[in-house]
Amino acid sequence: MFALRPERPATLEVFVDGAAVPVPEGASAAAAVLLAGAALIRETQVSGAPRLPYCMMGACFDCLAEIDGVANRQACMVPVAPGMHIAPQHGARRAFPA
């Protein structure tokens, strides 16, 4: 009737603000940030207040981060990949690279 799955998902290693973090395969980059115990993943543009992922479903945009060098990505919508680099986003993203 019900199949038990005692095996755990494989883990892979990503880097959150430079620190190596083991995360389950299939997790989101936002989950990796929370697993890392990070203090913030972005700062608000106006006051600089720290933010962490909140809704985990693409609605609040509090998870905007720089992922593998690309800013303004919704970390909760991005599945982790081995060696992924997730960095906090500070302030607003520039529309065009300098």
32-91 positions binding ligand FES, by CB under 6 A: 53-56, 58-63, 74, 76
Question: How many angstroms separate the most distant Cα atoms in the chain?
Answer: 59
Q: Site for ligand FES (CB under 6 A): how many residues?
A: 13
The CA distance from 1 to 72, in Å, is 44
Q: Is the Cβ of residue 21 or residue 65 nearer to ligand FES in the bound state?
A: 65
Task: Compute the least distance from the CB of residue 98 to ligand FES, in Å.
Answer: 27
CB of 49 to ligand FES, least distance (A): 16
Neighbouring C-beta atoms of residue 85, cutoff 10 Å: 15
Token readout for 19 is 């620190």
Nearest to 76 by CA among 32, 40, 43: 32
Residues that bind ligand FES (CB under 6 A): 30, 53-56, 58-63, 74, 76
